[in-house]
Amino acid sequence: MNVSGYVFSKDRQPIANVQITFTNPTRTITTDKNGFYNMVLDYHWTGSVNPQKQALAFSRKHMIITKYLPAGHI
């Protein structure tokens, strides 16, 4: 399964180089210049997703994913 999305500023500008950390097991990827990230995970993966970038505060500090949801439902 893929977990993907975009990271934007309050004024809807993409934020590059945000570290997106997935738990269970811990894996980290970085957003591209468009703020996009994509992680391929096991089909029945559950865990949390946490964004981090120095000097930035995020309105959504993490997401907990406990079951498979079709695209567009997170």
| Segment 4-52, tens digit of pLDDT | 999 999 999 999 999 999 999 999 999 999 999 999 998 888 899 999 9
Question: Which residues lie across from 21 on neighbouring strands?
Answer: 28, 50
Span 65-72, average pLDDT: 65
Query: In sequence order, which residues have a C-beta less than 8 Å from that of residue 14 and are 6 or more positions away?
Result: 6, 7, 8, 31, 33, 34, 35, 36
- Specify if 70 maps to a domain: no
Bigger pLDDT: 67 vs 25:
25
Domain span including residue 19: 2-65
Closest CA to 3 of 56, 42, 34, 61: 42
CATH of the domain at 30: 2.60.40.1120
